[in-house]
Structure 1
Amino acid sequence: MPLALNRAVEAGMKPYLLMLCGAFAFSLMGIFTHAAARVFDWQVIALARSGTALVLALALATAAGTPLVFLRPRTLWIRSIAGSLSVLCNFFALAHMNVADALALTNMFPVWIAVLSWPVLGRVPGRDVWLSVGCAMAGVALMLKPTGEGGLGTLLAATGSVTSAVALMGLHRLRHIAANAVVVHFSAVSVVILTGLWLIVPATRPLQTLPDQLLSDGWLLLGVGLGATVGQLMLTKAFAVGAPARVSIVALSQVVFAMVIESLLWQRTYDPMTLTGILMVLGPTGWMLLRRPLREESAE
């Protein structure tokens, strides 16, 4: 069995397994974010996410002796800026919407990934990719029932999916750079952008209460940062070694993870239509994980 598993990984399973682990970490990040929003402003949560990721990724890179990059290549800056905009949009949505609903919207990026893979990477997605994307996104649509509330959160979550697509396409072009170095650069840029935003858009809660909030509920921010860091490292490695259009489908599983965790923690219930959506998201994920791996470069 171990030998068979090793062969499967070597044959092409590795990026999908990495992305599945990353998806679970991101779902935990969303849960911690939603819980922390009851105490902290969303700007504080987003800044804590990027700050924690920066410290941890920098420590890992230093321990591993990974050379850091800053000025070049240009794609690294595109990835970091687009990713930072995604953090901004996504954390506002996670703080103001149910976690599963927010993740469903932010995970619309596979549609844009599949489209951008053609002009950016010169890869025409195969029929199986388009069918999988269509099935998964139809499932997301069933899981998400607009109520007319949270209009700004919905708009920003959808916008975040577009900027995420740009960032993730950049990751595939940065596969020659160590994942730690990419995460350090992205996190540093994100901290700068979010700090500037905090100065422009003031927090709604008085800053004087922040120290007491950190003492009593700072562990929630730590959970956000740890989930984000683990998820980011897994995602970076997955997109570096796998075809973006396929790996992005597996990333949709974080919506399912979030729905399960919300049910366990906050007793959120789901109707048959929502459960059907879960199966339609799980289907493409299982297909990508269990099918005989194809040679992705030639298949796309």
Structure 2
Amino acid sequence: MVTQDSQGGFRLGSGWMVVAAALFALMGLFVKLGARHFSSTELVFWRTLIGAVALGGAALWRRERFSTPLLRYHLQRGVIGYVSLLLSFYAIAHLPLATATTLTYTSPMFLALLSVLLLKEKLPSRAVAGLALGFAGVALLLRPTLSGEVWFAGLMGLASGFLAGWSYLHVRELGRQGEAEWRVVFYFALISTLGGLLLMLLERWHPVTADNVGLLLGLGVTATLAQLAMTRAYKVGRKLTAANLSYLTVVFSSLIGVWMWNDALSPSSLLAMALIVVSGMLASRR
């Protein structure tokens, strides 16, 4: 029997995921605006640096323990997640915001597929149907992209979704091992920051000025708050409901794209996005 308290917790979890979806969409806005001043590598570096400092400082304040016996899993997740984030930011910079966000949100499809290939899990029939719908949606969404000048950005967005799904396999394993949620987020931010610093040794740094520092702060703050809100949503609410509501990021991103850049979405693009969203929902029902 579902009690009133549990229903309140579920509603609270749903609310947190709506907040997280809106913040992730705003993060995409700051990425797209910031791409006029910084490279994708720089944007990822500043985004994760702000997150690492904020989360690390909060952990120090609470006197949390940073040591972990699961460092290998953190390293694997951090490297894969960092490359995924780098490709995602590149796609956002070069594609309409809604298209890039939707490609990134193919991660549940790839998570389900990798669970079968790597972990030998069996998928129910509805998840298999979801994967078929999802890949049909991807083909439909990428068709105009592959025939245009931004085909590379489209493939990078899809690769980002694949790597994000692979990263979530490690996140799931860390959760099974009982790792604290804050350490999962913190070590990802830390490893990504160090990786970005190494890559930036090969690039030219663009100056941070009074005109663009607000974009970096907005990027770091929205990304960190979105991550925390998402973590809270999964902790206090129904995981399946939270996973489904996460696709509101696609809706919010579409609205921002129309508002900021008059992005026009064709009927085929809207159909493709709907197929991918439904696919992710079905793939999550396992």
Shorter-normalised TM range: 0.7 to 0.9
Equivalent residue, structure 1, for 2:27: 29
Structure 1 counterpart of 2:111, one-letter code: I
Aligned twin of 1:224: 219
Q: Find the aligned partners of 1:239 and 1:137 in 2 and give their Cα distance.
A: 26
1:41-91 CA-to-partner distances (Å, cap 9, x unmatched) read: 222211111111111221332344432235634222211111111122222
- Partner residue in 2 for 1:180: 182
Q: Residue 193 of structure 1 aligns with which residue? A: 195
Aligned equivalent of 1:271, options 232, 248, 266: 266
Is 1:233 equivalent to 2:231 in the alignment? Answer: no
Aligned partner of 1:78: which letter? Q
Who is 2:161 aligned against? Answer: 161
Would the alpha carbon gap of residues 231 and 178 (structure 1) be closer, same or farther in structure 2, given more than 3 Å must change? same
Q: Report percent identity of matched pairs.
A: 24
Point out the more displaced range, 235-244 or 218-227.
235-244
Change over 3 Å in CA distance of 1:111–1:148 after alignment to 2:
same
Kept in 1, the 8 Å contact 2:141–2:273? The answer is yes
Q: How has the CA–CA distance of structure 1 residues 284 and 113 changed in structure 2, closer, same or farther, with 3 Å as cutoff?
A: closer
Equivalent residue, structure 2, for 1:292: none
Q: What is the alpha-carbon distance in structure 2 between the residues aligned to residue 243 and residue 266 of structure 1?
A: 35
The separation in 1 between residues aligned to 2:14 and 2:65, in whole angstroms, is 26
Worse-matched range after superposition: 97-106 or 238-247 = 238-247
1:191 positional shift? 0.8
Question: What is the one-letter code of the residue matched to 1:270?
Answer: L
User: What does the per-residue CA deviation read over 1:201-238, in whole Å, with 9 as the maximum and x for residues that have no partner?
Assistant: x13xx64xx14xx3112111112112221233345566
Query: Which residue, 126, 129, 146 being the options, matches 1:128?
Result: 126
- Report what 1:148 is aligned to: 148
In the alignment, the residues of structure 2 paired with residue 229 and residue 250 of structure 1 have an alpha-carbon distance, to the nearest angstrom, of: 19
Give the deviation of 1:278 after TM superposition: 4.4
Report deviation, 1:6: 2.6
Label 1:142 to 1:164 Cα distance change in 2 as closer, same or farther (>3 A). same
CA distance in 1, matches of 2:87, 2:277: 25
SS at match of 1:216: coil
Instruction: From the superposition, tell whether residues 239 and 138 of structure 1 become closer, same or farther in structure 2 (CA, over 3 Å).
Output: farther
TM-score (norm: length of structure 2):
0.81
Q: How many residues align?
A: 281
Q: Is the 8 A contact 2:70 2:174 kept in 1?
A: no
**What is the Cα deviation at residue 244 of structure 1?**
9.2
| Inter-CA distance 114–162: structure 2 relative to 1 (3 Å threshold) | same
Partner of 2:171: 171
Aligned-partner SS, 2:212: helix
CA contact (8 A) 1:143 1:274 kept: yes
Moved more, 28-37 or 54-63: 54-63
Shift of 1:99: 1.7
- Partner residue, 1:254: 249
Shift of 1:162: 2.2
Matched AA of 2:225: V
Distance 1:220 1:185, change over 3 A: same
Tell me how far apart the structure 1 counterparts of residues 45 and 115 of structure 2 sit (CA, whole Å): 31
Match of 2:46 in 1: 48
- What SS is found at the alignment partner of 1:269? coil
Q: Which runs of 5+ in 1 are unaligned?
A: 289-295
Moved more, 140-149 or 243-252: 243-252
Gaps of 5+ in 2: none
When the two structures are superposed, what TM-score results if normalisation uses the length of structure 1? 0.77
In the alignment, the residues of structure 1 paired with residue 244 and residue 120 of structure 2 have an alpha-carbon distance, to the nearest angstrom, of 19
Q: CA RMSD in A?
A: 3.5
Instruction: Name the SS of the counterpart of 1:32 in structure 2.
Output: helix
Q: Which amino acid aligns with 2:198?
A: G
Q: CA deviation at 1:170?
A: 1.0
Distance in 2, Cα, partners of 1:172 & 1:15? 19
Aligned letter for 1:103? T
